[in-house]
Amino acid sequence: MYTVYLTKSGLYKTTGETDKQIALIFEALKFYEKDKKTYVHSLYYAYTTLAYAYRYQNEYEKGIQYSLKAIESCDLSYKEYPSNHTLNWKASNYQNMAYCNGKLKKYKEALANTYKSLEITRKLGADTQTGLGLSGAADMEMKLGNYTAAEKLLQEMLAMKSTSTNTMSLAATYHGLGEISFNKADLKMLKIIKRKRLN
């Protein structure tokens, strides 16, 4: 029955009825939280869904709060049943926290969360998630004025095969490198990047 609540909450997400989605997740949580050990897998799914629902409502503090709960549940689940699937959820929650902290202009916290996510996705060989994480980390490093660190991250992104085949990611990477070159007043590099972006 409570699994149905979570499934139905997904329907409300699709229709944009986030308040109804959140209400159903809390109904399911009332049951799952009574026996956290037995329902640990359902808990990290419910907490993650709740964290993202709050993020989509621009309630970033709550998004962070429930991502932290999801990560705790992922850790408990992983101790009992080690699985890459669980680690993937954990990485996703670190990315959600990074996004929420970024929106709150807490760039250092956002960067720390992104690096935690990257640590997991690199180990898993999850190239798409790693590419997104590298892009996010580079953006945060630039916001903090750490252009050398940002450039290193973007170069790593360019070296990834799966990212280099994605035109949108490639364009974003060259844009980031162009921004860094502009800030460093490296006009020679800026011309090279501009040529690559046009090709």
In the CATH hierarchy, which fold is given to the domain comprising 126-199? 1.25.40
Amino acid occupying residue 140: M
Residue 11: pLDDT band (50, 70, 90) is low
Please state which CATH class domain 1-122 belongs to. mainly alpha
Helices (H) and strands (E) in the chain, counts: 11, 0
For residue 67, pLDDT beyond 50: yes
Amino acid 165: pLDDT:
45
DSSP state of 199: -
CA torsion, ordered 75, 76, 82, 86, to nearest 10 deg: -60
Residue 69: pLDDT band (50, 70, 90) is very high
What SS3 class is residue 165?
coil
Q: Is the pTM of this model over 0.85?
A: no
For residue 181, pLDDT beyond 60: no
Instruction: Tell me how far CA of residue 117 lies from CA of 11, 87, 114, 130, in angstroms.
Output: 28, 9, 5, 8
Which of 72 and 15 is assigned the larger pLDDT? 72
Q: What is the mean pLDDT of the chain?
A: 84
The half-sphere exposure of 199 on its side-chain side, counting CA atoms within 13 A, is 8
Report domain extents, the chain: 1-122, 126-199
Do 126-199 and 1-122 fall under one CATH topology? yes
Residues 6+ apart with CB under 8 A from 147: 141, 180, 183, 184
Cβ(193)–Cβ(178) below 8 Å: yes
Write a three-state SS string for 126-152.
CHHHHHHHHHHHHHHHHHCCCHHHHHH
Amino acid 79: pLDDT:
93
Distance CA 9, CA 35 (A): 21
